[in-house]
Amino acid sequence: MSQALNTNAFIAGSWRRGAGGVFPVYDPASGAEIAQVADCTPDDVSAAVDAASEAFNTWRLKGPKERAAILLKIRDGLNNNKETIATILTKENGKPKGEAMGEVGFAASFFEWFAEEGRRQYGETVPSPAASKRMITVRQPVGVAALITPWNFPIGMIGRKVAAALAAGCTCVVKPAEDTPLTALAFAKVCEEAGVPAGVVNVVPCSRSRVQAVGAALCDSPKVQALSFTGSTIVGKWLYQRCGSTIKKLSLELGGDAPFIVFSSANIGKAVEGAMAAKFRNTGQTCVAANRIFVHESVHDEFVKQFAEAIDKELKSGHGLENGVNHGPIINQRQFERLVKMTDESIAAGAKVVRGGKPGGGLFYPPTLLTGVSGDMPVAKEEIFGPVAPILKFREEDEVVRIANTSDMGLAGYFYTNDIAQAWRVAEALEVGMVGVNEPMVSTCEIPFGGVKHSGLGKEGSLHGLDDYTNIKYICFGV
């Protein structure tokens, strides 16, 4: 793949200018403009949906093995161009180059997984209640899938969605986040070079001012049969309502408010190591980031001491392309100001600053550790989405589980304990879709990723990842 940036939309197998002109993309670490990207309108979306709809007529008829061969070529294209794509990702997202490289590999893993899983879309033979009938089920692709992806994992979430859709036999229209369209367009180039047929994968970037109109066009199109979105709960609710008139299949991976609990029996060193990963990966800008950190009163002081030391020792801020940097900027000014406001209000309400707490230059916010946090402070009530770690002290297991479950979110939860009975009790009691017990890194292509309550609908990855892109058809034979 060429080092040159692809800045045009990718529709029906060709690179096109957006009907709305262009919009700028910036490097959040330096503030410099990186490129001017095609600004797509609902008319462009309509063209992309039409192309996907036409391509579906032939793509759906390809055998699972033939589709798998193309998915594996996409996997190879991602792995072979990992350095180039990671550099683009770091420039427009700000995450450290090492994390970006890992994300490209993460995206590639889904194409390998679903290349294999697509060949196992088994139907069923249903025992008939009547001797004169034979009953079976088959799985069939739903049609065109609209895939709306976030800025915090701009290639990882594309991989997780596109791989499942293509393996199921669907075609797709990808609408990337306005902050990170260049990574999505680099992915489109990989698809083109892998021989993906024209119209099977389409990418339509747009500016923030056109996000709602483009999203509405995808929701309102009767040719779009499935919509998958990763992003905020407020936007997810809007999409959910908007899709009602066309009765689409919906998968929504929305906000998180993950509790991270350290019980008295925990290995404190391991708990600190886990908290560092769960809190500060991608500068805290992940939906599964540890949001509220609950620490038992008997180990509170030791945990805070070791956590502060780890922050000092392990985190280095700077541009993600610089050697040794593992802590980047906040994605944009809007998110930065939101983070500053909630942190300042919590400090004013009595939270004590152990580390950080003061904005750096530009969009950089330092790794921040707060103690003395109460449940009514903003950092304990809202999804932080930044490098601020609030510590809340607790005494009893029942108490902390109850408080952890007060959130209307339910994506991920983490806890550390060496009590096996407690591990089972708490893992089953937490109202979340995914639990890490003595482990902060829970996401891989093999597992069903998704939440409960206001954190969304459906599962991505695993054998269940095909469910949102397929219909089960029942066929009854008279004999």
Question: What is the structure's pLDDT at 252?
Answer: 97
Specify the length of the chain in residues. 479
Q: Which of 112, 192, 253, 383 is catalytic?
A: 253
Average pLDDT, rounded, for the chain: 97
Work out the burial of residue 363: count CB atoms within 10 Å of its CB; fewer than 13 is exposed, 13-18 middle, 19 or more buried.
buried
Question: What is the structure's pLDDT at 3?
Answer: 72
Place of tokens 């060949």: 119
Question: What is the structure's pLDDT at 203?
Answer: 98
Question: What is the structure's pLDDT at 35?
Answer: 98
Contact of 28 with 329, CB cutoff 8 Å: yes
Question: What is the structure's pLDDT at 1?
Answer: 74
The answer to whether 172 is a known catalytic residue is: no
> Two tokens at 225?
């049969």
Question: What is the structure's pLDDT at 99?
Answer: 97
Question: What is the structure's pLDDT at 426?
Answer: 98
Q: Which amino acid is at 97?
A: K
Q: Which of 287, 431, 445, 460 is catalytic?
A: 287
Question: What is the structure's pLDDT at 2?
Answer: 72
Low-confidence ranges of the chain (pLDDT < 50): none
Beta strands in 367-411 (DSSP E): 368-371, 388-394, 409-410
Domains located in the chain, CATH noted:
9-254+455-478 (3.40.605.10), 258-444 (3.40.309.10)
The answer to whether 170 is a known catalytic residue is: no
pLDDT, one tens digit per residue, over 115-160 is 999 999 999 999 999 999 999 999 999 999 999 999 999 999 999 9
